[in-house]
């Protein structure tokens, strides 16, 4: 069933578990992620990042295909725009059928972030769509120009949630996007998480879940994180599975990709202790 995040996150908060947000790059992976969620009988957020829009996939096609599989599924599926950096992109995603959008203005000043988020919130809520925003900043190991991690404070989180009207809040507590250098597991600030959880009741989101360590992520889920984004590990798992397959056969290649991602996503469902 096609849903937004509102009810799912409320249940996750009450049950002390997290829901995976599985990023996709093509139509096949949308189908693959949803079918695995249905097989396991668990909710899922399928997410498309604005930076991945291009010749391979666009908002219209992504919404059309994701909504089809979500509507046909027996489990709750959210179709989410990840890291929308432009208000126009967020509004377009809402118009074509995404049920959740993230507006990421985290590198702007606090006041600009609030104003930008509030604009998207007003547009989204009038159309039954939920909005994720970010306060603090999760750096990117993909981008050498984006190395500045700005940790979220409890005071900022509470003020931002109240002033922006967003439905969920991505916070920075030690993770980073992409592959960690030397595959080191990051040090998560659980004290920061606890302080933010105490200061506000808004559902909290963690970006940069890939490579952050199962114990860390399980503790985050138990400690108040409702959604964890995983992208890098899904595609690394797919590539590893491909290395062990006969690449001369198209169907074997496709099946290897599917199995690699399925095994990885199924693993994270267990780590996050996701419930139906």
Q: Which amino acids are annotated catalytic? A: 82
H, E, C per residue of 25-51:
CCHHHHHHHHHHHHHHCCCEEEEEEHH
What backbone phi and psi angles, to 5 degrees, belong to 271? -60, -45
Contact 197, 204 (CB under 8 A): yes
The token duo for 273 is 């202790």
Cα–Cα distance between 113 and 99 in angstroms, integer? 21
């Amino acid at each position: 069933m096609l849903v937004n995040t509102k009810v799912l996150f409320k249940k996750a908060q009450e049950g002390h578990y997290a829901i995976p947000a599985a990023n996709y790059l093509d139509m096949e992976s949308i189908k693959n992620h949803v079918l695995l969620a249905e097989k396991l009988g668990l909710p899922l957020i399928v997410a498309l990042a604005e930076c991945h829009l291009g010749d391979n996939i666009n908002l219209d096609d992504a919404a059309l295909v994701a909504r089809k599989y979500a509507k046909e599924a027996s489990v709750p599926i959210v179709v989410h725009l990840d890291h929308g950096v432009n208000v126009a992109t967020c509004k377009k995603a809402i118009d074509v059928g995404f049920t959740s959008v993230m507006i990421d203005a985290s590198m702007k000043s606090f006041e600009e972030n609030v104003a930008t988020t509030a604009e998207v919130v007003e547009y989204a809520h009038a159309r039954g769509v939920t909005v994720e925003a970010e306060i603090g900043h999760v750096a990117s190991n993909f981008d050498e120009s984006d190395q500045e991690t700005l940790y979220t404070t409890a005071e900022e989180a509470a003020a931002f949630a109240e002033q922006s009207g967003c439905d969920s809040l991505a916070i920075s507590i030690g993770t980073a996007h992409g592959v960690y250098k030397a595959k080191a597991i990051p040090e998560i600030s659980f004290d920061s998480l606890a302080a933010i959880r105490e200061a506000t009741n808004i559902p909290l989101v963690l970006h940069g879940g890939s490579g952050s360590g199962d114990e860390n992520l399980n503790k985050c889920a138990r400690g108040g994180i409702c959604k964890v984004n995983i992208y890098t590990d899904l595609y690394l798992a797919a590539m590893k599975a491909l290395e062990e397959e006969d690449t001369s056969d198209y169907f074997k290649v496709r099946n290897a990709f599917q199995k690699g991602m399925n095994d990885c996503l199924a693993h994270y469902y267990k780590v996050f202790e996701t419930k139906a």
